[in-house]
Structure 1
């Protein structure tokens, strides 16, 4: 294919050893900028995915390659528990202790470690692209004032901050089933591996509910994607979905049920007080995101996970954001996966992201 790929390792403060891939230049060394001028970009995938998210299509259709060919220095993250990031300084993935985390830990430890590493390696502030869960952890981080000093801008695809309006029947059923200890005891596992026997049984049980069509699991969860190539979906199913922690899934389900973005709820007042100093978990206040931080949001009209109604709630939180620092794009025909695998995404979304990044290169 003609792209240089470097492997890097990042160790988080809580001991997880993460693998990152770097594409430092375009195909066969091409790209319009010199080495010192290349702007670093961190790509952060969504839940049950890994860094392959950005590499599944052809080089002319995959965001990682498009950015490299456009003169950017591309860094691809793989969150803890996925195929390339299953190591820890002292814990083994076969133990429940390894899986004792939710997206709170991604906010507190993972993203800061990744951003700091790229910043140190390149000596530059970076741009960020997140999809799905990758947008949620970014927004939560920004609301606490994390990362923004080391970032130039952020592009958020299928932004997830609220899940109240989620309309996928399978997703709603799963969210109602994911209740803390109940689901952990029922599954008997701390690792949520969609390809494992326990989760397969769980999904099979959900699929027997009336009105649930599990013939096409991707559509059942994400909505009717308009623009996926059959061979890309085949490749996706070969590499994905990837594992996450059961606790992470429970935390996402809490976000759906409670209609508010909070830290993990232990569903036990005493434990919440012990952890947080209060009976209810603290809220991530998205209106605290710095008003002058450049944000690009792109969302789809057919997305059943990042629903239009929930994006409206997010935009309401951002209503005081500086007008020239917030770019919002609505793609009527797109569902959740189109933003990372759609054959038309370059023309519709990625070119706009590149223009947004170039506009914000010298701002911070």
Structure 2
């Protein structure tokens, strides 16, 4: 290679490197907006929301496509996911876009520890302290911070939509007396208020074997699905002959009826996301306890934190009766089991909650956020529900 050719190669490499760094920094700054919303033809804004305990959460806003501002709707994703899940389908099928098309002002939350919410005032994600939380903290800090932010930005009460763990933290927060005065209504897709009858074999096996506690004891604070620690955990679980590790997605969620290949490819491009090991331990505790309780630190620490030896339960029957709730659940769902949802409905009914319940026999856990049939089967009903409670 001549000196001229070598010089041109170096220049080309520098330009390529500069382009890559510039492009990456732009994506890092705009996040979800630049990845999916804007390419799909929607306006999109990014905001930082700070929680009382110092976490800085990224939030996206997709305004109504109509000329006038719409009623705000907050979308809250589940565990091991982030706000991307609401946009993985086409504009005519993804809930974020369906709601914007229907005239709503869409706000998308991203829980602490996920791709766009890995910042804190003083803590670094590489530290154990950054990951010292479970879904209790999402109830106490993250969800109230995002609801309050939307409420102040818009000057309006808002509708809420949660999926999976997003429903759990909403139900818990509402049962503690929070959020209700700022919400118009709430939609729970694949609710996991109870996990007693969970049938996902990987989840049951992990919960029964106390593997999460072991990983926490070993100092593995971040539960990163792409990390070596979680991969080693999966290898251990997959040695069990009852677990089909050739289809891990279905092993976790149940057999989804309505996912297409392009959606799954997008999902694998952006998901799954990290959470804390303590959060996974807390979910396992709820399964073993047979009811949703606050995190169980052990007798002595429970006594110091809660004034009792066992963690206090969340009582969903205390949710305000005048807040309209819409629950949609599936017959093939291995995480949000039919029996558990019925137990949740019974508890809510005992509290005289205004409740609409939808059962979709063919749907499993992921169908509610990524299924191609979700728009006609569920989202249209959600929009009707919102309009009845404007």
TM-score range, shorter chain: over 0.9
1:148 paired with 2:189, answer no
C-alpha distance in 2, partners of 1:251/1:65? 33
Deviation at 1:185, TM superposition (A): 3.0
* Structure 1, unpaired ranges of 5+: none
Q: 1:321 to 1:285 in 2, by over 3 A?
A: closer
C-alpha distance in 2, partners of 1:202/1:150? 41
Residue in structure 2 matching 1:108, options 118, 128, 140: 140
Deviation at 1:313, TM superposition (A): 0.6
SS of 1:67 mapped into structure 2: helix
C-alpha distance in 2, partners of 1:115/1:81? 18
C-alpha distance in 2, partners of 1:65/1:126? 17
Could you tell me whether the CA contact under 8 Å between 2:206 and 2:212 is conserved in 1? Answer: no
* Structure 2, unpaired ranges of 5+: 1-39
Deviation at 1:211, TM superposition (A): 1.4
SS of 1:162 mapped into structure 2: coil
Give the equivalent residue in structure 2 for 1:25: 64
Residue in structure 1 matching 2:165, options 133, 138, 143: 133
Give the equivalent residue in structure 2 for 1:223: 254
What does the per-residue CA deviation read over 1:83-125, in whole Å, with 9 as the maximum and x for residues that have no partner? 0000000000000000000000000011110000000000000
1:247 paired with 2:281, answer no
What does the per-residue CA deviation read over 1:110-141, in whole Å, with 9 as the maximum and x for residues that have no partner? 11100000000000000000000000000000
1:290 paired with 2:329, answer no
What does the per-residue CA deviation read over 1:234-279, in whole Å, with 9 as the maximum and x for residues that have no partner? 110111110000000000000101101110001x211000111111
Q: 1:335 to 1:180 in 2, by over 3 A?
A: closer
Kindly report which structure 2 residues correspond to 1:1-364, keeping only aligned pairs within 5 A, or say none. 1-26=40-65, 31=66, 34-35=68-69, 38-178=70-210, 181-186=213-218, 188-266=219-297, 268-322=298-352, 325-361=354-390
The count of aligned residue pairs is 351
C-alpha distance in 2, partners of 1:180/1:196? 15
Poorly superposed stretches of 4+, deviation over 6 Å: none
Could you tell me whether the CA contact under 8 Å between 1:291 and 1:320 is conserved in 2? Answer: no
Larger Rg: 2
C-alpha distance in 1, partners of 2:154/2:389? 17
Deviation at 1:321, TM superposition (A): 4.8
Deviation at 1:181, TM superposition (A): 4.1
Could you tell me whether the CA contact under 8 Å between 1:177 and 1:183 is conserved in 2? Answer: no
C-alpha distance in 2, partners of 1:79/1:191? 14
C-alpha distance in 1, partners of 2:172/2:91? 31
C-alpha distance in 2, partners of 1:199/1:245? 12
C-alpha distance in 1, partners of 2:292/2:203? 18
C-alpha distance in 2, partners of 1:307/1:80? 26
Could you tell me whether the CA contact under 8 Å between 2:295 and 2:311 is conserved in 1? Answer: yes
In the superposition, the TM-score normalised over structure 2's length comes to 0.88
Deviation at 1:180, TM superposition (A): 6.0
C-alpha distance in 1, partners of 2:286/2:187? 22
Could you tell me whether the CA contact under 8 Å between 1:20 and 1:76 is conserved in 2? Answer: yes
Could you tell me whether the CA contact under 8 Å between 2:165 and 2:192 is conserved in 1? Answer: yes
CA RMSD for the aligned pairs? 1.1
In the superposition, the TM-score normalised over structure 1's length comes to 0.94
C-alpha distance in 2, partners of 1:166/1:143? 22
Deviation at 1:182, TM superposition (A): 2.0
C-alpha distance in 2, partners of 1:142/1:22? 24
Deviation at 1:171, TM superposition (A): 1.3
C-alpha distance in 1, partners of 2:320/2:361? 29
C-alpha distance in 2, partners of 1:292/1:98? 37
